[in-house]
């Protein structure tokens, strides 16, 4: 199996500069030129994070799972204002898993790295084992190129709250996957949301650009705008106030899917995860970098207030994804 995977993980020289020693030995050797390494890890488990077969008839491919494993980890590095340098991947597989499915997973990993623009990143190695269900764990390393990391805790009253990437698109895709509308019946406008659930497209150039522009705080929106926004508010001891007009603009893009399923599109915008966009705050006098749009502001807490997310000053209940409640 490894002999079939390794050739599919090879990358052009431009993607492998940080990986000094790749797959084949007991460990990889990765360069850390500025003395700091940014690290993140994420896991996808069959029937928890993905299904091989969905109610609407869609079949999850190995390519889908490989792409998503790369994308969600690359996004975490992006959210620190860093760029990824290498991935290591651990696969747990039932023995009946087709070899072609695992080959497709390796293809998905490398395709995501290339197509999402993660120049300088490559798969440095990993592990292969047996289990009852498919589990894919990817750990990613990154570099700040000598700069500082952008944390969740730096938002300040008066800052502009901005979003890069999409919001609610992956949630619309998940709703379509779980619906009774056959995948073959979906038109192109609806199908794009399903594709973004299975193969998210985080804006990887936006993180370093936000850091260079002076972003005060930033995080990856993986569990929903409200839930992740509350995490930033709590870390920064502030309130994040969302602009309802901008939420409507974001929701209007989702109309093809919301009309089909009879759903409020703004609910997807607020509570849908897995788009892997970036939520960031900037000083009011800073020009937002390309790809970011203002969606609200950062407000100071009164003496008796707790950190929160509000919409036009009104409290908003944080929904979103909770790993242990689903």
Find out whether 126 is annotated in a ligand binding site: yes
Sequential DSSP letters for 274-286: -S-EEEEEE-TTS
Residue 51 lies in a domain: yes
* Strand, coil or helix: 130: strand
CATH code of 198's domain: 3.90.650.10
CATH code of 26's domain: 3.30.1330.10
Same domain (yes/no): 112, 200: no
The predicted-structure confidence for 251-306, as pLDDT tens digits, reads as follows 999 999 999 999 999 999 999 999 999 999 999 999 999 999 999 999 999 888 99
Find out whether 76 is annotated in a ligand binding site: yes
Same domain (yes/no): 15, 138: yes
Nearest in space to 182 (alpha carbons), one of 44, 45, 56: 56
Find out whether 274 is annotated in a ligand binding site: yes
**What integer pLDDT is reported at residue 7 of this predicted model?**
84
Find out whether 321 is annotated in a ligand binding site: yes
CA distances from 133 to 4, 52, 94, 107 (A): 21, 11, 6, 20
**What integer pLDDT is reported at residue 320 of this predicted model?**
61
Q: Which residues of the chain have pLDDT under 70?
A: 13-16, 318-326
Tell me the CA end-to-end span of the chain in Å, nearest whole number: 33
**What integer pLDDT is reported at residue 5 of this predicted model?**
87
Residue 154 lies in a domain: no
Same domain (yes/no): 105, 222: no
Single out the residue in 84, 108, 143 at which a domain terminates: 143
Same domain (yes/no): 129, 253: no
Find out whether 252 is annotated in a ligand binding site: no
Cα–Cα distance measured from residue 30 to residue 271, given in angstroms and rounded to the nearest whole number: 37
Residue 149 lies in a domain: no
Same domain (yes/no): 22, 136: yes
**What integer pLDDT is reported at residue 2 of this predicted model?**
85
Same domain (yes/no): 176, 265: yes
Residue 126 lies in a domain: yes
Same domain (yes/no): 136, 3: yes
Residue 180 lies in a domain: yes
Same domain (yes/no): 307, 165: yes
Single out the residue in 83, 112, 143 at which a domain terminates: 143
Nearest in space to 56 (alpha carbons), one of 172, 158, 152, 200: 172
pTM for the whole thing? Answer: 0.93
**What integer pLDDT is reported at residue 3 of this predicted model?**
84
Residue 48 lies in a domain: yes
Find out whether 42 is annotated in a ligand binding site: yes
Total domains in the chain come to 2
Same domain (yes/no): 13, 102: yes
**What integer pLDDT is reported at residue 11 of this predicted model?**
74
Find out whether 173 is annotated in a ligand binding site: no
**What integer pLDDT is reported at residue 4 of this predicted model?**
87
**What integer pLDDT is reported at residue 322 of this predicted model?**
62
- Find the angle CA(199)-CA(117)-CA(123) to the nearest 5 degrees: 80
Domain housing 194: 159-315
Same domain (yes/no): 133, 96: yes
Find out whether 25 is annotated in a ligand binding site: no
Same domain (yes/no): 38, 130: yes
Cα–Cα distance measured from residue 118 to residue 122, given in angstroms and rounded to the nearest whole number: 9
Residue 321 lies in a domain: no
Find out whether 107 is annotated in a ligand binding site: no
Same domain (yes/no): 284, 236: yes
Residue 151 lies in a domain: no
Find out whether 10 is annotated in a ligand binding site: no
The predicted-structure confidence for 185-223, as pLDDT tens digits, reads as follows 999 999 999 999 999 999 999 999 999 999 999 999 999
Neighbouring C-alpha atoms within 13 Å toward the C-beta of 86: 22
């Amino acid at each position: 199996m490894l002999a079939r995977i390794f050739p599919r993980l090879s990358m052009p020289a431009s993607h492998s500069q940080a990986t000094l020693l790749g797959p084949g030995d007991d460990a990889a050797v990765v360069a850390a030129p500025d003395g700091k390494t940014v690290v993140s890890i994420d896991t996808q488990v069959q029937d928890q994070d993905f299904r091989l077969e969905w109610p609407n008839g869609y079949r999850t491919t190995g390519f889908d799972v490989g792409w998503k494993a790369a994308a969600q980890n690359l996004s975490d590095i992006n959210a620190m204002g860093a760029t990824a340098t290498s991935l290591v991947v651990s696969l747990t597989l039932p023995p009946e898993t087709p070899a072609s499915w695992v080959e497709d997973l390796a293809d998905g990993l490398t395709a995501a790295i290339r197509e999402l623009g993660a120049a300088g990143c490559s798969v440095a190695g990993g592990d292969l084992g047996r289990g009852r269900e498919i589990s894919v764990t990817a750990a990613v390393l990154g570099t700040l190129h000598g700069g500082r990391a952008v944390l969740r805790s730096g938002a300040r009253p008066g800052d502009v709250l901005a979003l890069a990437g999409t919001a609610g698109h992956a949630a619309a895709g998940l709703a379509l996957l779980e619906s009774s509308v056959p995948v073959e019946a979906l038109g192109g406008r609806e199908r794009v949301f399903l594709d973004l659930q299975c193969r998210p497209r985080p804006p990887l150039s936006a993180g370093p650009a936000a850091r260079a522009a002076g972003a005060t705080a930033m995080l990856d929106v993986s569990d929903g705008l409200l839930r992740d926004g509350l995490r930033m508010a709590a870390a920064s001891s502030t309130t994040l106030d969302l602009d309802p007009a901008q939420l409507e603009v974001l929701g209007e893009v989702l109309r093809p899917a919301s009309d089909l399923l009879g759903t409020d599109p703004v609910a997807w915008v607020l509570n849908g995860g897995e788009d892997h966009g970036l939520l960031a705050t900037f000083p009011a006098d800073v020009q937002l970098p390309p790809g970011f749009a203002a969606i609200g502001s950062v407000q100071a807490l009164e003496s008796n207030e707790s950190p929160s997310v509000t919409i036009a000053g009104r409290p908003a209940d944080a929904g979103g994804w909770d790993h242990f409640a689903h």
